[in-house]
Amino acid sequence: MKIFLLLIFTLIVFACTPPQKKVGMVENYSLIVADLDMGKKISVINASSIFNKVNTIILETGKDCLVGSDFIFSAFDNYLFILNVLPTKDFLLFDREGKFIRKIGGLGRGPGEYTRIFDFTVDPDNKVIYLLCDLVINKYSFDGAYIGAIRLKKHTSFIQYVKGKLYIEPRDGKYLLQSIDPETGRQTDKFLETALYDKGWNEPNFKFGRPFLYRSVESPKFKSTFMDTIVSIHHDKPVPFLALKSKNLTNNADVKVTVGLDPFDRI
């Protein structure tokens, strides 16, 4: 049975080998190789093996700051950000004590408003919030002021700010990752050919999991559905971070044989 790469961060807990050299996006860059065939299957991973300490934050509740059943959470500096995907479709800002500060933007079709938010990212240095609203990215300051909008030429469901650039995952195309100017929305670079890094998988509505990981650190990580290498985004380009090794990983031939089938049948 093919291994879905969505589970890799659980699997690597028991399958890591020392760093090796690999020629990839950046020549001679050291990375960790996880040989999954050498791993021992375990049914439980205790949280105490990952975290030294856990603190509980009770969020303030009120009619303007309820957290819905489907939400995206992130923490930056002294702030907690919550994007309510369903049912309210709003963006909430709390402090680290759980006190509600404000709602960012609001529903509507005017400047600074939105009908739906797909994703968000934060520039912590300049205190700017980016809300992805289909082909428009709305920009706000932490005090809730609307700064402006960026118009995109390609649809995307995910964005990530890294050191003065915005990165997006196009829903389809030859490349998995693009960088755009956070002022104009123009493409500044493109990375990771789909045929080479994601086994040629190009079903825009059938990608698994969120592509950007560890989003609030200096060098966020990126992966796509069938990638066998997780990359770090830093120094204006992605560099290899973690490579997977297994005889059971999905390969290009597995994907190619499904071309032409219904997307559900392909999966």
State the average pLDDT over residues 215-238. 91
Query: What is the pLDDT at residue 205?
Result: 79
Please state the pTM of the whole predicted model. Answer: 0.84
State the average pLDDT over residues 193-209. 88
Query: What is the pLDDT at residue 234?
Result: 83
Give the span between the Cα atoms of 39 and 197, in whole angstroms.
Answer: 24
Give the span between the Cα atoms of 66 and 157, in whole angstroms.
Answer: 24
Query: What is the pLDDT at residue 47?
Result: 87
Q: In the chain, pLDDT over 70 holds for what percent of residues?
A: 89
Q: 17 pairs with which residues across the strands?
A: 33
Which range among 4-13, 31-40, 198-207 shows the weakest confidence by mean pLDDT?
Answer: 4-13
Give the span between the Cα atoms of 179 and 159, in whole angstroms.
Answer: 10
Pick 260 or 29 by higher pLDDT. Answer: 260
126-158 pLDDT, tens digit per residue, is 999 999 998 999 999 999 999 999 999 888 999
Residues 25 and 118 in one domain: no
Residues 86 and 145 in one domain: yes
Describe the strand order of the beta sheet including 16-22 as a list of residue ranges.
Answer: 16-22, 29-35, 237-245, 229-234, 221-222, 212-213
DSSP 3: B
Tell how far CA 192 is from the center of its chain.
15
State the average pLDDT over residues 63-71. 91
Residue 267 has pLDDT above 50, yes or no: yes
Query: What is the pLDDT at residue 134?
Result: 84
Q: What is the mean pLDDT of the chain?
A: 86
Tell which of 102, 123, 151 closes a domain: 151
Give the span between the Cα atoms of 190 and 211, in whole angstroms.
Answer: 15
Residues 95 and 160 in one domain: no
| Rg of the chain in Å (alpha carbons) | 20
Is residue 51 situated within a structural domain?
no
Give the span between the Cα atoms of 172 and 176, in whole angstroms.
Answer: 8
Residues 37 and 134 in one domain: no
* Range of the structural domain that residue 146 is part of: 58-151
Query: What is the pLDDT at residue 152?
Result: 92
Residue 98 has pLDDT above 60, yes or no: yes
Query: What is the pLDDT at residue 29?
Result: 57
Give the span between the Cα atoms of 57 and 232, in whole angstroms.
Answer: 30
Is residue 256 situated within a structural domain?
yes
Amino acid at 152: L
Query: What is the pLDDT at residue 187?
Result: 92
Domain count across the chain: 2
E strand or H helix that includes residue 256: helix 252-256
Residues 176 and 128 in one domain: no
Q: Are 121 and 107 in contact (CB under 8 A)?
A: no
Cis bond before residue 87 (omega within 30° of 0): yes
